[in-house]
Amino acid sequence: MKEHKFENRCIYCGESDLVHDVHVGLTNEIGDVGLSYSKFITGTEPIYADICTSCGSIIRLHVHKTDRKWITKKPKS
């Protein structure tokens, strides 16, 4: 995984109180939240967020594994 290269300050309030790699999930953990990819079967790559604890802004959403065959269109029903 590549390290992100950005100033360690919130782009909205300017504070440096950032928390990195917070897993984005569902409240009841039913199903998966993430970006869909295809290999042999369809999978979901977890989404992580960088959050400013001073103002509550989500600074960035990202995934850890980038070498996926991403599904870009919604499957037909």
Q: Does the residue 56 lie in any domain?
A: yes
Q: Does the residue 45 lie in any domain?
A: yes
Of the two residues 2 and 32, the one the predictor is more confident about is 32
The H-or-E segment that residue 14 falls in is none
Average pLDDT value for the chain: 81
In the chain, % of residues over pLDDT 70: 71
Question: Residue 45 and residue 20: Cα distance in Å, rounded?
Answer: 17
Structure confidence at residue 6 as a pLDDT band (50, 70, 90): low
Q: Is 74:36 a contact under the CB 8 Å cutoff?
A: no
Residue 48, domain extent: 1-65
Q: Does the residue 20 lie in any domain?
A: yes
Of the two residues 21 and 26, the one the predictor is more confident about is 21
Domain count, the chain: 1
Q: Does the residue 72 lie in any domain?
A: no
Q: Does the residue 76 lie in any domain?
A: no
This prediction's pTM: 0.71
Q: Does the residue 25 lie in any domain?
A: yes
